[in-house]
């Protein structure tokens, strides 16, 4: 009987996770990058790029809900949202669920990511790419924020880890561009890796955001396939009050949206800003 194919993540030196490949749905090795989409009995459809899990059908809702709802609910009057990256459509799906949002701009550098995700991961977007509020821009995210003439209430950066093309989305020029595109009371959030094993990335982000924004912090959640501990999200704003909304108000705002979430709650929202001591010591 043939042995099942096993796929092992290569993000960390000397340690990783292994998933069984039950069925290959799509595979492409261009010489520059290796893209694999496969079925796994535990996590459903899995998208892996260059040996790193990007998203899975089973647990994507945790990441996408927390990266979307925390800044939008914290803002309290969000109307215009900018998404950088996020070609799988998960962030867009969650933004579209907010009825008060009137305008969404998404900047994705690679249209193939959108096409493949719509085909093999349709539940990520669930038709969100057809939302009339969306303006989809195929462009480099760094260039867009440096040249854009609009301002946004919330900017969400949903990129891969800071290697290869995505590395530019973790640099000072990108963050400076984000600052110029934000409304004065706006909020910027971004995925920032698993803090325990990618501490340097968190520290680099903090050092680059602090000269630009009055209030820089991080919040967290646990995503099973982003192994190594808690997933960390960067937070930056010039309005410190946005991060200090009391629980009753968070719950009221959330209830007003009418959204039925799978992970996010007002209580989790508030608790997510409580950071572990090891991370606080590094950031200090």
* Residue 43 shares a structural domain with residue 66: no
* Residue 16 shares a structural domain with residue 117: no
How many Cβ atoms are within 10 Å of 29's Cβ, its own excluded?
A: 10
* Residue 14 shares a structural domain with residue 77: no
Crossing angle for the helix pair 172-181 and 199-209, nearest 10 degrees? 50
* Residue 163 shares a structural domain with residue 260: yes
Confidence of residue 159 (pLDDT cuts 50, 70, 90): confident
DSSP state, 12?
Answer: B
Averaged pLDDT for residues 172-185: 94
* Residue 127 shares a structural domain with residue 182: yes
Domain that holds residue 24: 5-55
DSSP 3-state helix, strand, coil percentages of the chain (rounded to 5)? 35, 30, 35
Averaged pLDDT for residues 103-130: 95
* Residue 68 shares a structural domain with residue 41: no
Q: Could you say which of 14, 33, 55 is where a domain stops? A: 55
* Residue 20 shares a structural domain with residue 142: no
Q: Which of 175, 195, 159, 184 is nearest to 241 (CA)?
A: 184
Q: Could you say which of 38, 55, 72 is where a domain stops? A: 55
Report the alpha-carbon angle 234-276-46, nearest 5: 55
The more confidently predicted of residues 6 and 173 is 6
- Model confidence over 249-259: pLDDT tens digits? 999 999 999 99
For the chain, what is the domain count? 2
Averaged pLDDT for residues 74-93: 97
Confidence of residue 280 (pLDDT cuts 50, 70, 90): very high
The structure tokens listed for 61 are 């809702």
* Residue 278 shares a structural domain with residue 159: yes
At 270 the three-state DSSP class reads helix
* Residue 48 shares a structural domain with residue 68: no
Confidence of residue 29 (pLDDT cuts 50, 70, 90): confident
How many Cβ atoms are within 10 Å of 180's Cβ, its own excluded?
A: 13
pTM for the whole structure: 0.94
User: How many alpha carbons fall within 13 Å on the CB side of residue 221?
Assistant: 24
At 219 the three-state DSSP class reads strand
Averaged pLDDT for residues 269-274: 98
* 153 part of the active site: no
At residue 31, the pLDDT reads 72
* CA trace torsion 77, 87, 219, 145 (10° rounding): -60
Catalytic residue among 59, 140, 158, 161: 158
CATH of the domain at 22: 2.30.140.10
| Residue 170 clears pLDDT 80, i.e. is over it | no
């Amino acid at each position: 009987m043939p042995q099942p194919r096993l796929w092992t993540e290569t993000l960390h030196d000397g340690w990783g996770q292994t998933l069984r490949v039950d069925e290959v749905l799509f595979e492409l090795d261009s010489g520059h990058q290796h893209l694999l989409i496969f079925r796994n009995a535990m996590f459903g459809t899995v998208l892996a790029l260059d040996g790193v899990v990007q998203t899975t059908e089973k647990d994507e809702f945790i990441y996408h809900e927390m990266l979307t709802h925390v800044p939008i609910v914290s803002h309290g009057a969000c109307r215009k949202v900018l998404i950088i990256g996020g070609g799988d459509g998960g962030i867009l799906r969650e933004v579209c669920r907010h009825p008060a949002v009137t305008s969404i701009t998404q900047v994705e550098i690679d249209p193939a990511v959108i096409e493949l995700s719509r085909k093999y991961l349709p539940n990520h977007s669930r038709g969100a790419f057809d939302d009339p509020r969306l303006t989809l821009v195929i462009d480099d995210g760094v260039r867009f924020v440096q040249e854009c003439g609009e301002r946004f209430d919330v900017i969400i950066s949903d990129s891969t880890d800071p290697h290869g093309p995505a590395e530019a989305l973790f640099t000072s020029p990108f963050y400076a561009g984000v600052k110029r595109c934000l409304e004065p009371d706006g909020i910027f959030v971004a995925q920032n890796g698993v803090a325990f094993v990618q501490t340097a990335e968190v520290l680099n982000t903090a050092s680059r955001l602090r000269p630009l924004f009055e209030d820089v912090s991080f919040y967290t959640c646990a995503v099973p396939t982003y192994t190594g501990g808690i997933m960390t999200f960067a937070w930056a704003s010039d309005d410190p009050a946005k991060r200090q909304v009391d629980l009753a108000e968070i719950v009221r705002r959330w209830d007003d949206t009418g959204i039925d979430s799978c992970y996010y709650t007002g209580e989790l929202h508030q608790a997510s800003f409580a950071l572990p001591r090891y991370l606080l010591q590094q950031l200090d």
